[in-house]
Amino acid sequence: MKTSQNDVLRLIATGQASTRQDIAGKLCLSKATVSGICGELIRSGYLIEREEKDSSHSAGRRAVRLELHPAAPTCCGMLVRRRDLSVVLTELDGRLIAVSRCNFDSITPDRLTDELVERGRALIKRCGRRVLGVGIAALGPVDTQRRTIASPPDFYGIRDLPIADRAEEALELPAWFMHDTGAAAIAELLCKTMNGTESFIYLHVLDGIGASFVLNGKIYEGIRGNSGELGQMTLGLNAGRLEEYANIARVSGRIGELSERLYVKRSLPPIRPGEVYSWAQVLSACSDGDPAALTALCEFTDYVSCSLANTIILLNLDTVIVGCEGDGRLLCELLENRLNERLGGSVDIHVRVRPSQFRDGAPLIGAAAMISERLFRGEIQL
């Protein structure tokens, strides 16, 4: 596919342009060239035209807008997490078509592969449209050179699983593979939640904490795809790693301790040893003004800001996107305030922290968006 066609599809899918005039201005192409490109994409089944009344003309002239064709090719995404897996089909712009999920307490490598493949086949058959490829995102550590789930801790003994090769062979579709936080950052990039910002940190808050770095519109993956392991950073001499302090198990424990110590009415029910609250529960309790939950959340953001401030100084970035379960606005507000306090006058940066529009769903949407990204770059042909 020609580069100009890639660019036109990208502009339409990401909402940066909707008319031939918009496209010509963005790509510095003549109107005749743009009309030819759009004609090819319409004939190929990628775009359609839609007439709308142009309010800027009193004569009632109709503007012809371009949209993705409702039967355009689709993207398949797969996400592997510690206790569940998901398969999704999306449009080229990330809109959800269908999803299938599976929870487990234990799983073998063969069953993991079979579940992904069979659920993928079922969605593809039900949809009945062409699928361009499969994007697979997984918990780390991963090895993107060998396209394997390398050695995640507490993952039922699964090591060096060539998940991308297996899915590619079984589904007879090209497959791409990366760390789940990297996939989440792709979702943010392609769906334009950043209002044009092309350099930012994506911070994923779930059981533990991870990150991904987007630099000038590109994901920085590192040597084998494991950049952004924020939880492995030490907090200081003899202080231990961030993941020892910034995790939902510690937050849950602190809420229990503080509730007993402060003698306040708690909005969260007591939990048994070994159990944890969900982030949605913690954030809801904070919104209700629960002092124990608020104190625990403040402690969490204090630990995270310590590692994040160093990263921001090194990379010279000013935007952080947080993906988490539940309403993350308060978490983002607290983290933004603490980050800017830490940075103080040491650097001329004011950091913005905002929640992901996908909440904790960005890795799954991003797995499918890996395919859109490669189509827009010309790695997948029409």
How confident is the model over 258-269, as a mean pLDDT?
80
- Of 68, 89, 110, which one is at a domain's C-terminal end? 68
Burial class, 291, CB count within 10 angstroms (exposed 0-12 / middle 13-18 / buried 19+): middle
State whether 45 and 167 are in the same domain. Answer: no
Does 381 reside within a domain? Answer: no
Q: How far apart are the first and last CA of the chain?
A: 6
Q: Poorest-confidence range of 31-45, 102-116, 216-230?
A: 216-230
- Collect all residues with Cβ–Cβ distance below 8 Å to 216 and sequence separation of at least 6: 198, 199
Write the CATH number for 39. 1.10.10.10
| The Cα angle at residue 216 between residues 215 and 222, in degrees rounded to 5 | 30
State whether 243 and 261 are in the same domain. Answer: yes
The H-or-E segment that residue 210 falls in is strand 209-215
Does 220 reside within a domain? Answer: yes
Helix, strand counts (H, E) of the chain:
11, 14
Chain centroid, CA 238 distance in Å: 33
State whether 211 and 320 are in the same domain. Answer: yes
Q: Please write the tens of the pLDDT for every residue from 4-15.
A: 899 999 999 988
Q: Please write the tens of the pLDDT for every residue from 282-338.
A: 999 999 999 999 999 999 999 999 999 999 999 999 999 999 999 999 999 999 999
Whole-structure pTM value: 0.91
State whether 32 and 119 are in the same domain. Answer: no
- Taking residue 259's Cβ as centre, other Cβ atoms within 10 Å add up to 21
pLDDT band at 1 (very low <50, low <70, confident <90, very high): very low
> What distance in Å separates the CA atoms of residue 26 and residue 39, rounded to the nearest whole number?
18
Does 208 reside within a domain? Answer: yes
State whether 78 and 57 are in the same domain. Answer: no
Q: Please write the tens of the pLDDT for every residue from 210-260.
A: 999 999 989 999 999 989 888 888 887 677 889 999 999 999 999 999 988
Q: Encoding tokens for residue 208?
A: 């533990």
Confidence (pLDDT) at 267:
81
Q: Encoding tokens for residue 51?
A: 């007439």
Does 172 reside within a domain? Answer: yes
pLDDT band at 264 (very low <50, low <70, confident <90, very high): low
Confidence (pLDDT) at 56:
54
Helices (H), the chain: 3-13, 20-27, 31-43, 109-127, 163-171, 180-190, 248-262, 279-287, 291-315, 329-343, 362-376
State whether 182 and 236 are in the same domain. Answer: no
Does 169 reside within a domain? Answer: yes
State whether 150 and 211 are in the same domain. Answer: no
Q: Encoding tokens for residue 381?
A: 């042909």
State whether 25 and 170 are in the same domain. Answer: no
Q: Report residue 47: phi and psi, to 5°.
A: -125, 155
Q: Encoding tokens for residue 117?
A: 């493949």
State whether 259 and 333 are in the same domain. Answer: yes
Query: Cis peptide before 152, with omega less than 30 degrees from 0?
Result: no
Does 7 reside within a domain? Answer: yes
Domain tally for the chain? 3
Write the CATH number for 244. 3.30.420.40
State whether 216 and 329 are in the same domain. Answer: yes
DSSP reduced 3-state for 325: coil
How confident is the model over 168-177, as a mean pLDDT?
98
Does 38 reside within a domain? Answer: yes
Domain residues for the domain of 179 are: 74-190+362-376
Does 64 reside within a domain? Answer: yes
State whether 127 and 178 are in the same domain. Answer: yes
SS3 content of the chain, % helix, strand, coil (to 5): 40, 20, 40
Q: Is 76 within 8 Å of 131 (Cβ atoms)?
A: yes
Confidence (pLDDT) at 234:
86
| For residue 117, pLDDT beyond 90 | yes
Strand partners, 319: 352
State whether 58 and 157 are in the same domain. Answer: no
